[in-house]
Amino acid sequence: MAGSKRDQAYEYLRRQIVLCRIKPGEPLDEKLAAQELGFSRMPVREAVNRLAEEHLVSVFPSRGVIVNQISIPVFQEMLDIRMLVEPYLLHKSLPNLVAEDLRGFRDVMTERIENPQVESDSVDDDFDYRFHMYFAEKAGGRYLISMMSTLMTQSQRIRFFAAVAPQRLIEAYREHVAIIDAALAGDLQAGTEAIMTHLRNTREGYDRIYHAQEPYFRN
């Protein structure tokens, strides 16, 4: 890990939550985390505050820090917002997109479609997160980037919370390729349609995860 101790603590704790090593509803032990990292409590506390801002944990005076359950209304709202925001990001970013970058993303997706055994995303190298954030970054504006990062963090948590069926992964890769091809062609309408198809299918996939892992979700 690199960066400040606060950033290192944040990345460490975020990984523990996203990978469900600390399950929804369980306490997050700041003292233990500090010991494991070899840090004082201060950077861990600062990391916890950042996680709370991202709605991954809640801090209670009497109970300490609790990892939030995955809220059904929150993830439904997150997808609703993504359906509004991502077509706008494509519109704003289209003049700034770099063909070489897009082709690089496409090569990754093509490799995964043709070779399903290739290792897929990890928390440390999450293609889906990088892909969607790319359009936010090219659209410009720190508030757009910040908002999209928060949305994608919630999305990432659900994706890594339960293994998605291999066929759904292949479908998602093809959906990404459709977005890329539209962007390379400069076709905003086709790109918007591809984004909406991808997000509608994502919603269905998340619903399946919810029904399979219901105890960790809350209404």
What residue segments make up the domains of the chain, in order of their start? 5-68, 71-218
Residue 140 CB coordination number (10 Å) = 12
Low-confidence stretches of the chain (pLDDT < 70) are 1-2, 118-125, 160-166, 213, 215-216, 219
The class (CATH top level) of 5-68 is mainly alpha
The domain defined by 71-218 folds into Four Helix Bundle (Hemerythrin (Met), subunit A) (1.20.120)
Q: Where are the alpha helices (DSSP H) in the chain?
A: 5-18, 30-37, 41-53, 72-93, 99-114, 127-139, 142-161, 166-185, 188-212
pLDDT at 132: 95
Question: Does the global pTM surpass 0.85?
Answer: no
Angle at 101 between CA 97 and CA 105, to 5 degrees: 120
pLDDT at 141: 86
In tens, the pLDDT along 115-170 reads: 877 655 555 668 888 999 999 999 988 899 988 988 888 787 777 665 555 677 78
pLDDT at 163: 56
Q: How far is CA 161 from CA 74, 94, 103, 154, 208, in A?
A: 15, 32, 29, 11, 12
Question: What residues does 167 pair with on adjacent strands?
Answer: none
pLDDT at 164: 53
pLDDT at 58: 93
**62, 110 in Cβ contact below 8 A?**
no
pLDDT at 200: 95
Element containing residue 61 per DSSP (H, E): none
**176, 169 in Cβ contact below 8 A?**
no
